[in-house]
Every structure is written in structure tokens, then in C-alpha cells.
A and B are shown apart, each in its own frame.
Chain A
Amino acid sequence: MTAFIIRRLLWTIPVLLLVIFLTFVLMRQIEGNPFRRTDRAVPAAVQRNLERKFNLDEPWYVQYALYVKGVFTFDLGPSLVLRDRTVNEIIKEHFPKSLELGVLAFVWAILIGIPMGVIAALRQNSAYDYGLMFITNVGYAIPNFLVATLLIYYVSLKLGLLPTNGWQTWEHKILPSFALALAPMAYFARLVRGSMLETLQQDYIRTAKAKGLRWRRVVTVHALRNSLIPAVTAMAPLLGFIITGTFVIEVIFSIPGIGRYFITAVTSRDYSVVMGITVLTSVVIVLANMVVDILYGILDPRTRDART
């Protein structure tokens, strides 16, 4: 088991290097001037000064080397656009908010999605099944910027229940996390439904019923636990999605998170912020994958060595 964990940990390093390299190459391909804010061109001398200040006039391999060194010393450099801030500060300030948003969304998704999937599975092909699946899917199918806008309109503006935007109190956090949760919720519901259905076919379930065990016990003790395994596997990429997919929600609800920063950084060519956030999210995803792999290994010993 330990060997397994260590192996997985060691793999994160080349993965990270690859990610940094890819992002670096890609960002350099995009045309654009990080120092140009408006229609107005930057005077040539100022442009030179800026490029010198941020090492952009060095050959690309020098920049790359400097950057990699920075990553491993945890210094992600200054922001090219928000000049009184460093990328480290930006991440420290904003990542926790996205994380919180993501985790809350996750909680919603689990709390609502899983029971929905279970119910749907137990009443396969009935009105409950179709109805529940339809409802969760609708939340997922309508583009989330529309759902978010409508939520604000009805819940905040019309009903006055919750604030329209911001991230200060717990009331601010309900709508955005719910809006973000709709897609994973639907995903969990259908996943749990599917695996629940499969599990219920299994012989040991039939055996349990034949033995005269109460249905409720059969479902919770046997079926549920085993059908949740695929859900656990799904959590890692889902967590990754949630963290990178927070952008729309963050923009619409004015949440000072990292997702919003990322898109703005790409659009304004803030190379260091883009690199910094990409490295960060990759680390998160890789770690999340690793945790899930380990969890999976614990839950299902058959998979400890297999790779599928």
C-alpha cells in the first residue's frame, strides 16, 4: 500500500513539469500585449521598460527556466496587469474562495443528487424515475449562466430572499453554490442510479432478499455502499471541474475567486497569473486523482494493482 502511495506521489512531479511546459508554450503562442489596457498603444520606451522588468525580453528557454525555478521555490512571480500584486498573493487571496464555493457546491450535489439517484433506481421506469431524472437534468441542461441569472432574478430580486451578489455572509453563499451544484448534482444522480441498478441485479442482493432480510436493510447496508463506489471515483474529476468551472458563477455573482481571475488573465495576457493558476489547478487535480485512487484502493482491493 505504501509503495502504491509513494509511486503515485512521485508521478506528480513529471506531471507538473509537463503541465508547466505545455502552459508556457501555449501562452507564448498567443499574440497580445499584457501591458496594453486600452485602445491607446503603449509608447515604445515604456514597453521596453516593462518587458525588461518582467524578463519578457529574455529568450524563451531562460524565461522557462526562471519560471520552473520559481515554481519549486513557491514564487510564482508578479502579476503583469495588477502591478501591485504578486501571483502568490492573488492565489492566497482568491483560491480559498473558489475552493469554498466548490466544496459547498459539492455538498449540495451529494446531498441532493445521491438520494435522487437512489430513489430513481428503486423505482425504475416509473413516474418518479422519469420525473427525478428530468428535473436534475434540466438543471444541468440549461446553460448555467442563464440559470444563475434567473436564480438571481427570482430569488433575490423578486422574492428578496437572498442578496444578489457578493461573498460575505452565509446568505451570499447559498445561491452561487447551488447554481454551481446543478451539473454535478445531475451527474451524481444518474451515476448513482446506474450503479444502483446494476448492484440490485447482483446475486448477493437476491440472496439477501431470499434470506428474508428487510428491504430497507438490504438497500442501505448492501446495495448503497457498493453502488457508491463509482460515485467516489467520479469525485476527483468532478472536483477538478468544479474548481475550474467556477468562472461563470464567479462572474455573475461577483465572487472574488480564482476562476474569474483566470479568464481575465488569459484575456488580458497576464502570463504569470495564467501560469500560476494553471499550475495550481493541476496540482489540485493531480492530488485529487491521487486521493481518489488511494481511496479506491482501500475500498476495493482488487484495483490496487490493476490500472483500468
Chain B
Amino acid sequence: MEERRMPYRIAAVGALMALRTVTLAAAEPNSILASARAAAGIADRSYAGFIMESGSERASGLSGRWSTVVDLATGKTRSTSNFGIFSTAVVWNGHSYWRQDASGGVHLIDSDFMRAVHVTDAWLTQFGYLRRDALAQCWNRWRIEQRTGGVSRSFALRRDKGNPLNCGSTRIPNDSREPCRK
């Protein structure tokens, strides 16, 4: 039953994202999360509390430790990577996005474009892979391609095997716009 309902939920979310394209940058992050959850039939009360994920990270030949704290209700996140000789951090407080680079310098990434990207990231985090009956149950392996440049942005969800899935994109080429289906 759940699997049969999933394509409709995905299609609903895709339609929601398409409608939100123009106003995403100006919209309140919480309202985007609430709208996305409502479109998918998920109650906000399903998300409460905080989780911490921790593990290892390998990047550019270096090994280190990684951790993320997520506020399930609002999508606020704090991620840190510690490679010993340097560490980095990313914080999204629901309205502002900071990145601490390897030098220790802290940068506020506050352009409308980046705010929109991060709001979308927060949405994906909250809805796409933290939801209780995650897409993963239906699509057990999928990936997100994020293309950024100027003001264009798109997300493409694809299965690694089987039929391609495109939804949730804010700008999808006509030739790839197809209903999300299993």
C-alpha cells in the first residue's frame, strides 16, 4: 500500500517544487518545509527532537571525523569535519548559512541564490532522507544531482538501476520532464 502511494507523493512534491521555483528565495524556510510535508501527507509532528550523526570522513586523501546535529523540526543543522590538521564547519540556523573553511575563517553565505539552495537542501534533508518512511524504502538507491551556476538550479533524483526518476527539480529540461514513476 505504501509503495503504491509513493509515486503520487513524489509527483506531488515535484509539482510543489515547480510552483515554488520563482518564490523560493523569498519564502520562509519553515513554510517550505511545512508545505513539502503537507504535500507528502506527512504531519509536522512526525518531526521532533534532535539527532546527532557521527562517523568517519575521507576527502582528498585525508581521513577524519565527521558529525552533524539536526533539528528535526526546523531543519537547522551543524556539520563539522575534523581532519586533525584542520577542521571545517557548516551551520544553517534556519535563516543564515555560515561556512568555516580550513583556515578557520567564517563566511556568511547569504546571497539569495545560496539561501535558496540551502533552503532546498534543508528541505531535502528533512523530507527526502530523514522522513520516517523514507524514499529509500521504495527507491533503495538514489542520488541527487545539484547543478548550480548563476541563478539556475536543478535537482534530479535518479535511480542508479532501472528507470530514471526526475522530480523535485526546479528547472527540468522538457525532454526529461516525465512523471515520477517506479
A and B bind:
no
Chain A interfacial positions (CB closer than 8 Å to B): none
